[in-house]
Amino acid sequence: MSGYGVFKWSDGRHYIGNFVNAQMHGFGKFQWTEADGVRCVYKGEMLANVIHGVGELAKSNGDFYKGEFENGQFSGVGEYLWHNKKLKYSG
């Protein structure tokens, strides 16, 4: 499958966006719930099923990150704002 589409997992994960060769690739919106119950919504670039490139990650606890990702991790230039709004990291 290549092009724009929607994929839902039985565990509640959900992706809407671009696919290349049946992999999340390009721009999309990916939603999941972490083990501690915090819901996450990522909007941005994907590369071969991995969050990679520029994007935004919003968590249901109020934490927010906007910036660069590499292999699913924060990397490069970005800004993280903790839910208490008193702590902010830019770099």
The residue extents of the domains of the chain are 3-90
Range of lowest pLDDT (41-50, 67-76, 81-90): 81-90
Confidence (pLDDT) at 91:
65
User: How far is it, in rounded angstroms, from Cα 75 to Cα 24?
Assistant: 20
The mean pLDDT of 47-75, rounded to a whole number, is: 97
Residue 27 above 70 pLDDT?
yes
Q: Provide the strand spans (E) within the chain.
A: 3-8, 14-20, 23-33, 39-47, 50-59, 64-70, 73-81, 88-90
Confidence (pLDDT) at 52:
98
Strand 50-59 to strand 39-47: parallel, antiparallel, or no bridges (unpaired)? antiparallel
Confidence (pLDDT) at 30:
98
User: How far is it, in rounded angstroms, from Cα 20 to Cα 43?
Assistant: 17
Mean per-residue pLDDT over the chain, rounded: 94
The CATH fold of domain 3-90: 2.20.110
